[in-house]
Structure 1
Amino acid sequence: MGLFDGHKKKSLLKKGLNFERQGKYNEALECYDKILEKIDPGSANTWYNKGGVFYYLGRCKEALECYDKALELNPKLSTAWNNKGNVLNDLGRYKEALECYDKALELDPDYVFAWNNKGNPLEDMERYEEAIKCKNKALSLDPDFVVAWYSKAKILEKKQQYEEALKCLDKVVELDPKHDAAWNNKGVIYGILHDWEKALKCFDEDLKIDPNKFQSWYGKGLVYKNLNRYKEAFDCFDKALEINPDFEPAKESKKLLKAINRMP
């Protein structure tokens, strides 16, 4: 590859990355294909970038092919092992995903994203204690890693360790006050614990961030139902269905409320 080609490759890589940041994935693919077809077919980083674009587009088979090509060219590319693990995990190929994360961590023992991601297939395999250890390792490397705090909370919720899950969610909203999913999950857990006042507050915080979050309108409706505030419950279920007319839990809850109101 000549000097001119080197400059052109660098320019196309930069353009491709800029297109990715803008969500212009087809344009990014065109840049990477120009490099691989005309300048440097052996560029591991370009195959890696192309795999990332396919992953964002949900084209997992093609993403895997690109990551495999990148790793054939550079077996020590830890980020490609990590991202290949992500694709395999999304495909439900959990054992293979774990092997990829382990390979990434063998190359880079402090790779925080790989530690966090390794917990995901373990969670899906219901190996919760091992998954939590991975999340904890990620958080020891980066205590402000919001994704790890949130995913750890979800595992603890599955284990019905609600107080511990709430501590993790508190950390999430401390680091990212507009993390709508965390506010919703806090509301759900407080509802399970029958702390209706705190549940309402969390659902309201979520709806300040996203007024069209039908799950939180539904959650508010359930709280009001348990407080015997049926009119307000009806209104919340109606709002959830206005946003998502096919949301069956809200439909069923409305039917139940109607039956209750007919009772003497």
Structure 2
Amino acid sequence: MEKIENQISEIKEELQESPEDADLFNELGIGYQMLGEYEQAVKAYQQALQKDQNHFKAHFNLANTFFELNKIDQAVNHYLDALEIRPDYVPALNNLADIYEIADEDERARELFEYITKIKPDDAMGYFNLANHHLRANNTVEAGRCYKKAIELDPEFHEAYNNIGLMLKHIGQYEKAISYFDQCLEIAPDYEPAQEDLKACQEALKKS
């Protein structure tokens, strides 16, 4: 906390020398956002955008802050502004997709998650997020396919192994689930969700 406050003080001093620097206002907003001072963050990001309307990261950060303030329409507008400037900016695409999903606009959300995998075809995280979306929508076949694609792109993606194991556990395929939990824990031995579900599957097998 004190470190962030010191950084904010330093940024303010720099702004006295460079009052037109949009990047500094964006950094100031980040500092306030980290402190949970969202209204101050909004003011800083808006000042950044007054200096540079095409500062896509300021649009993105402002959108995140509006989301924290539950000002969803304003958040969406600034995510869209960021994407108009940088159409392939994945963080904005992801967060916008999340908002659409929360609003039960599943088709729009899915389109964005799928779009991310098209523009970043070698990024395992894109497939992982798409898989999570399918899983939340109970599209388990597609979820499994996307988790496996994430693993193909990144064999060390332990959360993907875990989530496949979780799906198998829920349909009672305990032996297969255990193999995925084992693979997850081989990569990340301290991953508690896999530890707990592995134990649950082993106990279920003993009772069967």
For Structure 1 versus Structure 2, the TM-score category normalised by the shorter chain is 0.7 to 0.9
Amino acid at match of 1:134: L
Alpha-carbon distance between aligned partners in 2 of 1:206 and 1:90, rounded to the nearest angstrom:
33
Whether 2:140 is the aligned partner of 1:162: answer yes
Distance 1:219 1:170 in 2: 19
- 1:152 corresponds to: 130
Question: Which consecutive residues of structure 2, in runs of 5 or more, have no partner in the other structure?
Answer: none
Pairing partner for 1:202 from 172, 180, 198: 180
- 1:89-132 CA-to-partner distances (Å, cap 9, x unmatched) read 34443332211111122233343432232111112222221111
Question: In the aligned structure 2, how far is the partner of 1:150 from the partner of 1:89?
Answer: 23
Moved over 4 A (4+): 24-28, 56-59
* 1:102-181 alignment, distance < 5 Å: 102-181=80-159
Cα offsets for 1:65-100 (capped at 9, x unmatched): 321221122222122112222233344433322111
The number of equivalent residue pairs is 206
Aligned to 1:34: 13
Deviation at 1:26, TM superposition (A): 5.2
User: Do the aligned partners of residues 138 and 57 (structure 1) sit closer, same or farther apart at CA in structure 2, a change above 3 Å counting?
Assistant: farther
Partner of 2:66: 88
Aligned mate of 1:185, from 144, 153, 163: 163
**Partner Cα separation in structure 2 for residue 56 and residue 166 of structure 1:** 36
Q: Which amino acid aligns with 2:200?
A: L
Counterpart Cα distance in 2 of 1:96 and 1:220: 43
Query: In the TM superposition, what is the alpha-carbon distance from 1:210 to its structure 2 partner?
Result: 3.1
Q: Aligned letter for 2:30?
A: G
Paired residues of 1:112 and 1:141 also in contact (CA < 8 A):
no
Cα offsets for 1:12-45 (capped at 9, x unmatched)? xxxxxxxxxxxx7556434422211x31122111
Contact 2:63 2:76 survives alignment (8 Å)? yes
Distance 1:208 1:87 in 2: 38
Helix, strand or coil: the match of 1:63? helix
Structure number with higher relative contact order (C-alpha < 8 Å, ≥ 6 residues apart): 2
TM-aligned CA deviation for residue 219 of structure 1: 0.7
The offset of 1:59, in angstroms, is 4.6
Cα separation, partners in 2 of 1:90 and 1:211, compared to 1, 3 Å: farther
Counterpart position of 1:221: 199
For 1:19, the equivalent position in structure 2 comes to none
Which structure has the larger Rg?
1
How large is the Cα RMSD of the aligned pairs? 2.5
TM-score (norm. length: structure 1): 0.68
SS in 2 for 1:48: helix
Q: Which position in structure 2 is the counterpart of 1:262? A: none
Question: Does the Cα contact within 8 Å between 1:113 and 1:138 map onto a contact in 2?
Answer: no
- Structure 1 residues 150 and 60: alpha-carbon distance in aligned structure 2, compared to 1, 3 A threshold: farther
